[in-house]
């Protein structure tokens, strides 16, 4: 919620909020930056609901301390619901021991090649099976539909092996990923089975699938190179809600294989 101020300060904040809201309505895809009575007011779409008020002296003061739900954050700024704040996707997670090994590999490769991007935390490492979509507040009916589809999946447990790293094409920064030359065939089978079940409940699916695990993002694009093979058993898949711009995941479902 907004921190409120009494007296003249309250009226001043209301004026700034009105101007700030107007800027984001008319420039929703851009970063809104205003100069208002000695303060620089700045926010980007990924930080909707948590604007920073930066005085001219450069000292940043964060006005909002508490995350709002996506739909409330959108409405609090008067911009409707057209800017995505949440992402929903199905994924396979490495077991905790494997995740730590992958994180150590990422750190070592970053140092070896002089990359500047920060490795993803071990708890955020995953292999995306299906990207369901990006939303400005996740529709509850959508969750029910894709969970229904996931419950229909029939697939055995299987072992995967990842033995290469390299960069995918990106915009400003390219994802540096762990991938597999061989040993990921059954991931393709799981992807196809999940796609079939999602299609059966009317959900759109993307047939393209390249099994990979993003390690970090960097301006440099690295060629494919072999690494010591990493093997683990896939025994489940999960549904994850990602809060865009917050580096925060929320588990929305988990289904066992076998």
Q: What is the mean pLDDT of each run of 10 residues along the chain (258 residues)?
A: 38 41 42 37 38 40 42 45 90 97 97 96 96 92 96 96 94 93 90 96 89 96 96 97 93 96
Cβ–Cβ < 8 Å for 54, 67: no
- In terms of DSSP H, where are the helices of the chain? 7-26, 70-76, 96-113, 140-151, 185-200
Rg (CA), the chain: 22
Cα dist from 27 to 43, 44, 66, 71, whole Å? 11, 10, 25, 19
At CB < 8 A and 24+ separation, what contacts does 15-19 make?
Answer: 16/41, 16/53
Cα(182)–Cα(164) distance, rounded to whole angstroms?
10
Q: Strand, coil or helix: what is 174? A: strand
How high is the pLDDT of residue 81?
A: 55
How high is the pLDDT of residue 182?
A: 82
- Stretch (H or E) spanning 163: strand 158-167
Nearest CA to 243 out of 94, 78, 67 is that of: 67
Work out the end-to-end distance of the chain between its first and last CA atoms, rounded to an integer number of angstroms: 45
How high is the pLDDT of residue 69?
A: 52
Cα(240)–Cα(231) distance, rounded to whole angstroms?
23
Cα(53)–Cα(68) distance, rounded to whole angstroms?
18
């Amino acid at each position: 919620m907004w921190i409120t101020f009494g007296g003249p300060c309250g009226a001043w904040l209301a004026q700034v909020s009105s101007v700030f809201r107007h800027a984001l309505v008319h420039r929703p895809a851009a970063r809104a930056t205003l100069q208002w009575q000695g303060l620089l007011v700045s926010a980007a779409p990924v930080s909707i609901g948590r604007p920073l008020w930066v005085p001219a002296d450069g000292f940043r003061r964060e006005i909002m301390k508490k995350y709002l739900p996506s739909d409330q954050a959108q409405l609090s700024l008067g911009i409707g619901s057209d800017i995505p704040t949440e992402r929903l996707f199905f994924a396979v997670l490495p077991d905790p021991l494997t995740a730590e090994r992958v994180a150590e590999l990422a750190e070592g490769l970053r140092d070896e090649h002089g990359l500047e991007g920060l490795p993803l935390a071990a708890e955020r490492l995953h292999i995306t099976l299906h990207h369901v979509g990006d939303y400005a507040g996740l529709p509850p009916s959508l969750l029910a539909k894709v969970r229904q589809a996931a419950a229909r999946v029939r697939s055995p447990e299987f072992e995967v092996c990842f033995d290469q790293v390299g960069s995918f094409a990106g915009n400003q920064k390219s994802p540096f990923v762990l991938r597999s030359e061989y040993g990921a065939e059954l991931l393709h089978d799981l992807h196809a089975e999940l796609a079939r079940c999602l299609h059966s409940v009317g959900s759109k699916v993307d047939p393209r699938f390249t099994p990979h695990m993003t390690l970090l993002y960097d301006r440099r694009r690295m060629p494919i190179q072999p690494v010591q093979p990493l093997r683990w058993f896939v025994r489940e898949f999960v549904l994850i809600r990602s809060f865009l711009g917050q580096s925060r995941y929320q588990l929305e479902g988990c289904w066992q294989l076998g």
